[in-house]
Amino acid sequence: MEQVSAREISRVSVEGQTSTMMANQKRAFNNRTCEAPYLIFLGPPGSGKGTQAEKLHKNFRLVQLSTGNLFREQIAQGTELGLRVKDILAKGELVPDDLTIAMVMDRLAKPDTIMGVVFDGFPRTLDQALALQNKLDEHGKCITAVIHFNITDDQIVERLGARRMCPKDNSIYNLKSYKPKDDEKCDICGTPLIHRADDKPDVVRHRLNIYRQQTEPLIEFYREQDMLIEIDAARTIEEIEAQMDEWMPMFIYDANE
């Protein structure tokens, strides 16, 4: 099976050349023969990670492991963890690593994750990244690729101002670019959509500062391991989805080939 590196994929996509050639040939990504795809979506809040992770869940049956959604579920259920993290989320701060890592490890212990996972919003610190790598190593698994959603702060603030979320099934809409069909109600379950308190402009700016300080260093961390693929996250949802569809065959290792 032919090998392809993260640098090669990034170069091809950045230069805007067609990557059909790569899509037509099933290749192992970086010689990492993971049984199932374990993809990390890395990028600032509002860069479109959640929307694309939802699509990978629907189209490829990957588990969408969104730490933000898991924390919001805990808050909605009023659990002990929910009570501990409620104010942290409202302020746009990061939940301490020990709590976050423990929650992710619990989720990874469920059998559905065996078919592959897209990590959406995790890891956000170097300690989280190391904990994830150790855990996957222990189970003979590995991170297939890290997709970096690249976008400017101004584009984020504008996007999050128009973002709406279904509090019941977590699906995401945008009043400008990805409107719900019926007024401000969820297309799937009809629940009235909400504008997350932490999507208001001043909290967004704070979350972006935290992202730049604590999470952005992970870009270099993964780039050095040749795991990082860049995507221009200012493109439309459809364009990014099409790009993901092209890349997916490279992330799925087929032991019979």
Q: Which of 12, 81, 88, 237 is close enough to bind ligand AMP by CB under 6 A?
A: 88
95 forms part of the interface with ligand AMP (CB under 6 A): yes
Q: Check if the beta carbon of residue 21 is closer than 8 Å to that of residue 129.
A: no
What minimum distance in Å lies between the beta carbon of 39 and ligand AMP?
15
Q: Count of residues binding ligand AMP (CB under 6 A)?
A: 18
Residues 56-85 that bind ligand AMP (CB under 6 A): 67-68, 71
**Could you tell me the maximum CA-CA distance found in the chain, to the nearest angstrom?**
52
- Rg of the chain's alpha carbons, rounded to an integer? 18
Q: What is the closest distance, in whole angstroms, from the C-beta atom of residue 228 to ligand AMP in the complex?
A: 18
In whole angstroms, the minimum distance from the beta carbon of 92 to ligand AMP comes to 5
Q: Which amino acid is at 81?
A: L
In the region spanning residues 21 to 60, those forming contacts with ligand AMP, defined by CB under 6 A, are 45
Find out whether 7 and 226 touch, Cβ atoms under 8 Å: yes
Extract the tokens encoding 23. Answer: 């899509």
Which residue sits closest to ligand AMP, CB atoms considered?
Answer: 68
Smallest separation (angstroms) from ligand AMP to the CB of 91: 8
What residues contact 176, with CB distance under 8 A and at least 6 apart? Answer: 162
CB crowding 10-40: b at 16 or more within 10 Å, else e: beebeeeeebeebbeeebbbbebebbbbbbb
- 121 makes contact with ligand AMP (CB under 6 A): yes
Point out the residues that are catalytic: 49, 124, 163, 196, 207
